[in-house]
Amino acid sequence: MKNLKKIFAGLFLLTACMFISQSAFAQKPDGKPWPAPASAASKKMPASAKAADGKDLYAQHCKSCHGAKGKGDGSKAEKIDISCNDFSSAKFQGQTDGEIFWKTTEGRKPMPSYKEKMSDAERWAVVAYLRTLK
C-alpha cells in the first residue's frame, strides 16, 4: 500500500514537471533570419522622433505580442509558435534604427505590417521607444 502511494506521488510529480517545462520554461524557436535590405538598414532616425510619443503607440499596437517591457511575453504571444524576440537583448538592440523601422513597417506573418496603420513619424517614434527597453 505504501509503495503504491509512492508510485502515485512519483507519477504526479513527473507529470507536473513535464507540464511546467512545456509551458513556462519552453523557449519558442526564433523565426527564420529576417535581414533588412541595405538601403533600409542605413536609414537614419529623424531627430524629431521622441520615445515619449512612441510609448502609447507601443502600448496600443505592439504590447499584446511583444509584452510591456518588450520581452516577447504579451498575452497573444502564447498562441504564436515562434518567438516574438526580446527587445531588451543585445542581439535586438545591436540592429540599426533603420532595420528596426523597416521590420516595423513591413511586418512578417504572424506580425502585422504597420505601413498603413501608422505614419512614418509614428513608426520612428516607436523605434525611439524600443531603444529605451534595452
Give min distance, CB of 76 to ligand HEC, in A. 5
Q: Is 115 in the site for ligand HEC (CB under 6 A)?
A: no
- Written as one letter, the residue type at 34 is W
Q: Is 98 in the site for ligand HEC (CB under 6 A)?
A: no
- Select 5 or 91, whichever has its Cβ closest to ligand HEC: 91
Q: Is 71 in the site for ligand HEC (CB under 6 A)?
A: no
Q: Which residues pair with 10 in a beta bridge?
A: none
Q: Which residues pair with 111 in a beta bridge?
A: 108
The answer for residues whose C-beta is within 8 angstroms of residue 110's C-beta and 6 or more apart is 80, 82
Of 23-52, which residues contact ligand HEC (CB under 6 A)?
31, 34
Residue from the set 67, 97, 105, 114 that interacts with ligand HEC by CB under 6 A:
114
Supply 93's cell numbers.
538592440
3-state SS, residue 33: coil
Residue from the set 49, 61, 124, 128 that interacts with ligand HEC by CB under 6 A:
61
Q: Is 132 in the site for ligand HEC (CB under 6 A)?
A: no
Positive or negative torsion for Cα 38, 128, 71, 108? negative
